[in-house]
Amino acid sequence: MSTTRTALPAASAASHAARSGLIQITVTGVLWGTTGVAVQLLRESTGLSPVSIGFHRLAIAALVLLACTAGRLRTIVATVRAAPVPLLLTGVGLGLYQALYFAAVAWAGVSVATIVSLGLAPVLAAAWESAHARRLPGPLRLGTLVAAVAGLVLITAATEHPGAAAPAPLLGLLAAAGSGLGYAVTTLISRRVSQRTAPMTLTTISTTVGALTLAPFALVTGVSVPVRLDTLALLLHLGVVTTAVAYALFYAGLRTTPGSVAAVLTLLEPLTAAALAVALLHEPLPLPVIVGGVLLLTAVAATYLAPDRADLR
């Protein structure tokens, strides 16, 4: 009897932790969804390249986090010394998959870059987890994965703005695939690291390494920005809200959430971006975006209805 009473609170605590992790990563996806509008406004007002904006985003996050954790610098250094390879891979991956995504946008367009990179990540993560567990995903996992990717395709294809022909579609496709692979691998690595590293510490290390990774690319395209209140506000939003806060929540959520499920939940990013474009930029709301949004929200709801089944069963 005592064993049963002990097991019930433990099961309840595990279920609560699983739901908390899902909420943290869902909020991450929503925060990341505000990135597109901010980047668009920055590019229009400053002429910065997407890679340079990505560098500023990570650099600002790293500086803010290093200032907030100044009293724990010895702990951060000790953490890096204890597991240098996975921590460095997480940071380098964070910088590289962003750079590859930006290159894919420039070479093949937003639609191809988003669908391939974001759509590939949860599929690759689920495939790795299935191979590692030596069993196929269950119906719930497959259903949420198909619904989420289908929703992503509908939303992205419908919100793509017509423009000039893609200058290098094949290179863009390869860059998008590399970005998706990098995102999936980085998510899987950071999930393992997050089990033994505090989210704030992990975010500080990864953003610092990521900024250093993007620095050479950014210096080539230019990093100077005009000192204006609107520009500084947008950069601070990207650095603090969509990076420092968002990645701290992401790494905290990864403690109890499988990488493939996390990749599905962060597909709320394009849905949030589409909603903001309608609300703030007064863009039209096509039917495919509505259908895609319903599919994505259904996939997210499925993970909340059965958080204890968010594994490969």
Going by C-alpha positions, the residue among 308, 36, 301, 21 that lies closest to residue 151 is: 301
Block residue for tokens 């069963």: 313
pLDDT at residue 95, as a whole number = 92
**Residue 36 pLDDT > 70, yes or no?**
yes
The least confident of 93-97, 137-141, 221-225, 254-258 is 137-141
The pTM assigned to this predicted structure is 0.84
Alpha carbon distance 126, 112 (integer Å):
21
Report the interhelical angle of 50-68 vs 229-236 (nearest 10°).
70
pLDDT in tens, 151-189: 888 887 776 655 445 677 788 889 889 998 999 999 999
Mean pLDDT of the 267-278 span:
82
Going by C-alpha positions, the residue among 240, 224, 206 that lies closest to residue 49 is: 224
Beta strand spans in 202-268 (E) = none
pLDDT in tens, 180-234: 899 999 999 999 999 889 999 999 999 999 999 999 989 988 888 888 898 999 9
The dihedral sign for the CA sequence 6, 11, 14, 16: negative
Going by C-alpha positions, the residue among 113, 117, 108, 98 that lies closest to residue 163 is: 108
Average pLDDT value over all residues in the chain: 84
pLDDT at residue 312, as a whole number = 44
Tokens of 63: 């500086």
Tokens of 188: 């899987």
pLDDT at residue 182, as a whole number = 92
pLDDT at residue 135, as a whole number = 82
Q: Which residues of 154-164 are buried (b: 16+ CB within 10 A; e: fewer)?
A: bbbbbbeeeee
